[in-house]
Amino acid sequence: MEKFLEEQYEKLGISKEVAAFGEIFDKELKERFAKIDEIAEYNQLKVIQAMQENRVSEACLTGTTGYGYNDLGRDTLEAVYASLFHGQAALVRSQITCGTHALSIALAANLRPGDELLAPAGKPYDTLESIIGIRPSKGSLAEYGISYRQVDLLEGGAFDYEGIKAAIRPNTKMATIQRSKGYQTRPTFSVERIGELIRFIKNINPDIICMVDNCYGEFVEVTEPMDVGADLMVGSLIKNPGGGLAPIGGYIVGKEEYIENAAYRLITPGLGKEVGASLGVNQAFYQGLFLAPTVVAGALKGAVFAARIYETLGFPVVPNGTESRHDIIQAVTFGKPEGVISFCKGIQSAAPVDSFVTPEPWDMPGYDHDVIMAAGAFVQGSSIELSADGPITPPYAVYFQGGLTWYHAKLGILKSVQQLLDDHVITSIPV
């Protein structure tokens, strides 16, 4: 079998040297991978339990059109999400176009003129800057008289609790906590750490709404932010919980009042959750959620594999190859743009779709700098599928994530190493 594998990798452009290098870590990580599989098994059982408790039936897999009144599949799916993630209610809709859109809805629905939004864990992801008004934009929260305050992390990534306490004012209405690192090289926050931060904020003012951007974090651990006191949890269906099958969509889970507000904001006051046709996507949403724990496990294995490969090659990685994992993203810092570009070229060349395309940096909407993205995906922009991206700015770090199977993630990483060699970004590998 080893001979057949070697031949197949060679057909896909992987040299024997690079394949042998990868095999070292494939064998080394078997025990680590077994622990990832244990978490996946637990989360798989959780998903099945939520589906059974909410009596998912064959009728739920069909869709509605027009207004979408009495859409059994849509309403049951939202009950499944609420049960699964331990919220009072959920909004799970194809009308939510992406994770950024879901966050925008949750923020705008629950903040009013004169309120202040607090970011107690540093600047949120780049695309939220326009929503908040950090970067002036039409329709931003700032245009509606909602102020913003930010407390940066301390050196080493610790929360600045004294700074947070000083920043909380009588009009502080909501705190937004981003679990994943975004385009930063800080560690991702564990659910436990998020819980500690929420408890600290609630001890100062229990009425502050604590919202967690959970993108890339679902099913990585056995607990989720709602389990540690979050009032709202937000994510994208073309990331972890869609399992690679959801063609679009986002979710918001949390306290019933805040979800009701979000539904009115997404649709219109007076209608809310009652309308919104599912248009035939229900089966993909259910089946994707069912597969999500296994898909996330494959992506996690790929991230760990990437960390071990690239730290061995001498590049700074976050997290490193032995640290605990709290999302599926692996950051690798190259220190020069050529490394980011070559890495993304390698990932693209491993794709099942558009493998022949060469990714290039471009002025992408929502960012104030050029960004390069590699994703030959079945669903456009789906970052639970094998993908990589990064801003072309210092320290020139790339962010790798996804892979619907571990084997595809492994191929992607090997192709990235091969591309770095071919482009002379690295001159050798330590085999």
pLDDT, tens only, 344-383: 999 999 999 999 999 999 887 767 789 999 999 999 999 9
Domain match, 245 and 341 both: no
Spatial strand order of the sheet with 232-236 comes to: 89-93, 250-254, 232-236, 209-213, 172-178, 116-119, 147-150
Domain match, 266 and 331 both: no
Cα torsion 70, 224, 216, 18: sign: negative
Contacts of 129 (CB under 8 A, 6+ apart): 123, 135, 368
Which of the residue ranges 185-189, 194-198, 221-225, 252-256 would you say has the lowest mean pLDDT?
A: 185-189
CATH of the domain at 128: 3.40.640.10
Q: Domain boundary at 280, 313, 338, which?
A: 280
- Average pLDDT of the residues in 129-134: 95
What does the mean pLDDT of the chain come to?
A: 96
Domain assignment of residue 49, yes or no: no
Domain match, 182 and 265 both: yes
Q: What is the Cα–Cα distance from 190 to 221, expressed in whole angstroms?
A: 8
Domain match, 191 and 116 both: yes
Q: What is the Cα–Cα distance from 303 to 401, expressed in whole angstroms?
A: 7
- Average pLDDT of the residues in 331-345: 97
Domain assignment of residue 123, yes or no: yes
Domain assignment of residue 358, yes or no: yes
Name the token pair of 3. Answer: 């001979």
Q: What is the Cα–Cα distance from 369 to 50, expressed in whole angstroms?
A: 42
Domain residue limits at 29:
2-43+290-422
Best CA proximity match to 252, nearest among 231, 267, 268: 231
Domain assignment of residue 338, yes or no: yes
Q: Are 312 and 179 in contact (CB under 8 A)?
A: no
Number of domains comprising the chain: 2
Residue 267 pLDDT exceeds 80: yes
How does residue 384 score in pLDDT terms, banded at 50, 70 and 90? very high
Residue 364: per-residue pLDDT = 74
Contacts of 242 (CB under 8 A, 6+ apart): 236, 249, 284, 285, 288, 289, 292, 382, 384
Domain match, 26 and 175 both: no
391: left (phi over 0), alpha (psi -120 to 50) or beta: beta
Q: What angle do CA 138, 95, 140 make, to 5 degrees?
A: 15
- Average pLDDT of the residues in 284-308: 98
Residue 363: per-residue pLDDT = 84
Q: Domain boundary at 229, 248, 280, which?
A: 280
Residue 1: per-residue pLDDT = 57
Q: What is the pLDDT of residues 192-230, one digit of tens each?
A: 999 999 999 999 999 999 999 999 999 999 999 999 999
Contacts of 321 (CB under 8 A, 6+ apart): 304, 307, 308, 311
Q: What is the Cα–Cα distance from 71 to 94, expressed in whole angstroms?
A: 13
Domain match, 276 and 303 both: no
Name the token pair of 327. Answer: 């999302």
Q: How many CA atoms lie within 13 A of 396 on its CB side?
A: 13
